[in-house]
Amino acid sequence: MENKKIDDKLYSVKFCPDFETHLKPDMNACKACKSKVCTIICPASVYEWVATKNELVVKYENCLECGACRIACEKKKLEWKYPKGNKGATFKNG
């Protein structure tokens, strides 16, 4: 079996972003969160904590829909749903 790197695998993912986010963290909970685990666990680097603005930036367009952030959120204050219709990520074999 061929051993591919993550960048090679992500090359086979197509994105069709929606106009609105499907990831809605409760920003007040994010400010109180000590671990900011979403910024670590997400394989697509969707979440970035901007300390100078005291805010979480969510680049939902890059989401792989793996669900890791939903499980990991220590405050359980992330509203998570799949993108609508044919929006979001599409995975191909190869």
CA 75 remoteness from chain centre = 16
Question: Of 55, 65, 54, whose CA–CA distance to 22 is shortest?
Answer: 65
- Cα first-last separation, the chain: 12
Please pick, from the candidates 63, 73, 83, 88, the single residue that binds ligand SF4 as defined by CB under 6 A.
63
Q: Could you tell me how many residues of this chain bind ligand SF4 (CB under 6 A)?
A: 13
Q: Which stretch binds ligand SF4 (CB under 6 A): 9-17, 24-32, 49-57, 60-68?
A: 60-68
Please pick, from the candidates 44, 56, 73, 88, the single residue that binds ligand SF4 as defined by CB under 6 A.
44
Window 3-42: residues binding ligand SF4 (CB under 6 A): 23, 41-42
73 binds ligand SF4 (CB under 6 A): no
**CA-to-CA separations, 37 to 4, 10, 17, 26, 68, in angstroms, rounded:** 26, 22, 24, 14, 10
